[in-house]
Amino acid sequence: MFMNIKPKWYIGIIALIFTIAFFIFGAVSLQLELGMWGLAITELGILLIALLPIFLFKWEPRDVMPIKKVSFKQILAIPLLFIATYIIVNTVSSAIMYLFPEYARLSSETASFYATAPFVLSIIIMSIMPGVCEEVLHRGLIQHTLKDIKSPFAIMVIMAIVFGFFHLDIYRFLPTAIIGFVLTYIMIKTDNFLLPVIFHAVNNAVSVALSYGTGENEIASIPITTVGVFLVLSALSPLLFYMGAKLLSKEKLGMRSKYATIAVTLILSVTGIVILAFSLTRAPIIDFSFTEEVNNETPPKIFGSIIIDNEGIYDLSVSISDETITVITTVRVEHEDGEIVWEIGGADLLSNKPTTLRIGVYNVIFTFETTSEQKIPVDISFSIKV
């Protein structure tokens, strides 16, 4: 009945729609109820949805997911492409975190979730399983249904959009779309399903591993200086990507590729330097650091009479460090009329928030919450910059 059905683009889209419906009506509840094991079931569900059309229409699995011997050049190329992609994705993510601090908080919560399970289990469920299950859906089924499209670039753009949409997170759309673009590029250039699987798994494994170092820290937002630093670092990415692409390509890359690499490198580096110069030359309206010895009887500490003469957007930054991670320190910035413009707290916190401040006088209030009767040192830095 289904033997003569050939791969068509709408089959991949239907599979994607079924996957999204599975996320909304099943996977969310599973993950809330079962945590990490719910994620494992989710990945298996994705795999099942991806495999069903392949076997239903009797397509050859080796045509949908060709696996070949990995060449020496490919072994050299994949790390270069991974590093280039990783830097660019983190640069884009830092810019989004600066513009939308909510994304920084959600990213911090995700990292904390990774660290709730044993490391080996997290690696299996959060890196190996997505590397296989999600790639069967994307670089396998969906990309296979796009084979009638003649333009490789068009396929890469479509697959990037699909991969970004697949994650159902507006903040993560662009970073995941970039990863999807590169994964599709690798698949097109090598026709070897094994390579995007490895790339995907390693990318997730790095995120999981880093979460075990930062899982207890709350990163509420990203200062603009960090965005500038990432942009300067990202100037390496075009060169690394060019070197990786040269190793993957059977034909020589043309002069257009070289010129594009140079142009993007210059744009990224100049933009980063301009942002860094702007952020470092801004004179702070207020900037102070102190260490407070805190126990369960420590009263709030108030810094008052901070005068704002001009209404506008200001950068509010705070850094709180408590080596014992037992003191919850809350900083509250409030106008003299009682309006709270910013309130955030944590035991180990780095936060920055672009905030509109009205003309008037502001107070910065630090409160401390701990059960300890012994004095615990808490290091605090705070600044307001134009």
Q: What is the structure's pLDDT at 215? A: 45
Least confident of 78-82, 207-211, 374-378: 207-211
Average pLDDT over residues 254-264: 91
Q: What distances in angstroms separate CA 119 from CA 67, 126, 199, one per listed residue?
A: 29, 10, 19
Question: Amino acid identity of 61?
Answer: P
Residue 35's pLDDT band (boundaries 50, 70, 90)? Answer: confident
Clarify whether residues 73 and 189 are in a common domain. Answer: yes
- Final residue of a domain: which of 245, 277, 309? 277
Clarify whether residues 327 and 253 are in a common domain. Answer: no
Clarify whether residues 258 and 327 are in a common domain. Answer: no
What is the CATH classification number for the domain harbouring 356?
A: 2.60.120.510
Between residues 105 and 64, the one the model is more confident about: 64
Residue 279's pLDDT band (boundaries 50, 70, 90)? Answer: confident
Q: Kindly report the number of other CB atoms within 10 A of residue 348's CB atom.
A: 19
Clarify whether residues 51 and 115 are in a common domain. Answer: yes
Structure tokens at 162: 């699909």
**Position 256 pLDDT exceeds 50:** yes
Burial of 48 (0-12, 13-18, 19+ CB in 10 A): middle
- Listed in order, strand segments (DSSP E) in 16-111 are none
Q: What is the structure's pLDDT at 351? A: 83
Summary mean pLDDT of the chain:
89
Nearest Cα residue to 306 out of 336, 351, 281: 336
Residue 2 lies in a domain: no
Residue 249 lies in a domain: yes
Clarify whether residues 228 and 104 are in a common domain. Answer: yes
**Position 221 pLDDT exceeds 80:** no
Q: What is the structure's pLDDT at 104? A: 65
- The predicted model scores a pTM of 0.79
**Position 61 pLDDT exceeds 60:** yes
Clarify whether residues 96 and 224 are in a common domain. Answer: yes
Clarify whether residues 22 and 62 are in a common domain. Answer: yes
Residue 3 lies in a domain: no
**Position 212 pLDDT exceeds 90:** no
Q: How large is the angle between the packed helices 152-166 and 173-190, nearest 10 degrees?
A: 140
Q: Kindly report the number of other CB atoms within 10 A of residue 242's CB atom.
A: 20
Instruction: Collapse the DSSP code of 359 into the 3-class scheme (helix H, G, I; strand E, B; otherwise coil) and give the result.
Output: coil
**Position 373 pLDDT exceeds 50:** yes
Give long-range contacts, CB 8 A cutoff, 24+ apart: 3-7. Answer: 3/57, 3/58, 5/57, 7/57, 7/59, 7/144, 7/145, 7/147, 7/148
Clarify whether residues 244 and 308 are in a common domain. Answer: no
- Listed in order, strand segments (DSSP E) in 231-327 are 284-294, 301-308, 312-321
**Position 303 pLDDT exceeds 60:** yes
Instruction: Collapse the DSSP code of 174 into the 3-class scheme (helix H, G, I; strand E, B; otherwise coil) and give the result.
Output: helix
How far apart CA 194 and CA 197 sit, in angstroms, is 5
Residue 239's pLDDT band (boundaries 50, 70, 90)? Answer: very high
Residue 36 belongs to what domain range? 9-277
**Position 217 pLDDT exceeds 60:** no
Average pLDDT over residues 43-60: 95
Average pLDDT over residues 179-199: 97
Q: What is the structure's pLDDT at 2? A: 59
Residue 219's pLDDT band (boundaries 50, 70, 90)? Answer: low
Q: What is the structure's pLDDT at 378? A: 93
76-123: pLDDT as tens digits: 999 999 999 999 999 999 898 888 877 766 666 666 666 667 888 989
Q: What is the structure's pLDDT at 124? A: 94
Residue 350 lies in a domain: yes
Which string of DSSP letters, residue by residue, matches 102-146? HHHHHHHHHHHHHTTS-HHHHHIIIIIHHHHHHHIIIIIIIHHTT
Clarify whether residues 168 and 114 are in a common domain. Answer: yes
Clarify whether residues 176 and 298 are in a common domain. Answer: no
152 Cβ partners below 8 Å, 6+ apart?
188
How far apart CA 122 and CA 110 sit, in angstroms, is 12
Clarify whether residues 296 and 264 are in a common domain. Answer: no
Average pLDDT over residues 352-380: 91
Give percent of the chain with pLDDT exceeding 70.
Answer: 93
How far apart CA 178 and CA 159 sit, in angstroms, is 10
Residue 1 lies in a domain: no
Clarify whether residues 251 and 292 are in a common domain. Answer: no
